[in-house]
Chains A and B, each alone.
Chain A
Amino acid sequence: QVQLVESGGGVVQSGKSLRVSCAASSLTGLPFSAYGMHWVRQAPGKGLEWVGFITNAERTYYADSMKGRIIISRDNSKNTLSLEISSLTVEDAAAYYCATDGPNRDIDQWGQGTLVTVSS
């Protein structure tokens, strides 16, 4: 089991950039570096939207809708995952969740999310 805690949310002006982070702890069995990690978001009143994924080998995959505006990175020495979003718009306002890539082609362990509000 892994405990995931997101941080870095808040109110940001449209057009600015934001970095949200995810700290992993309570790692039993596998180190953080062994996990692939996802970012998923949910805008108010909307469904889940996949943002992107970084493998344990640090290869990244991004949603087409966000490609070019986001960077997902990880610092295995600090058990931390990051998501940088540039050129924020009101459509980026959402709860952002980090989650582990499961061993069975699923997304299995989730953080509680951090809320991003974009002011125009």
Chain B
Amino acid sequence: QSALTQPPSVSAAPGQKVTISCSKSSSNIVSDYVSWYQKFPGTAPKLLIYEDNKRPSGVPDRFSGSKSGTSATLVIAGLQTGDEADYYCGTWDTRLTVWVFGGGTKVTVL
């Protein structure tokens, strides 16, 4: 079980919005920033959000991130069929000095 908890799946119709949560399952995790990754089958992961809420160049503003307390959130607005992928949150645990990924969330466009 990952130290970062994500819902296994979320779904919505095209044009709608999905929200993916990422919660620290252990209060022992000490980290600063959360980042998010998009992963299509058979391809490399792609950085989607860094420093909790910043988008790298080229990432559409339909993707947004936020963090409050021990939980981070990724929102995909205006859902498109091309957004069907797995999404992972991640963070560097500064106390244990290890990188931690969430278990991943599969986004399905209905």
Q: Report which A residues bind B (CB closer than 8 A).
A: 38, 40, 42, 47-50, 53, 61-64, 97, 99, 102, 104-113
Chain A residues within an 8 Å CB radius of B45: 40, 48, 97, 99, 107, 110
Could you tell me the dominant secondary structure of chain B's interface residues? strand
Interface-side segment among B18-26, B66-74, B77-85, B95-103: B95-103
Number of B interface residues at 8 Å Cβ cutoff, please give it. 28
- Please report B residues at the A interface, Cβ cutoff 8 Å: 2, 32-33, 35, 37, 39, 43-47, 50-51, 54, 56, 86, 88, 90-92, 97-104
- In the complex the two chains form, is B98's CB within 8 Å of A106's CB? no
Q: Cα distance A61–B99 when bound, in Å?
A: 9
Inter-subunit contact B2/A47 (CB<8 Å): yes
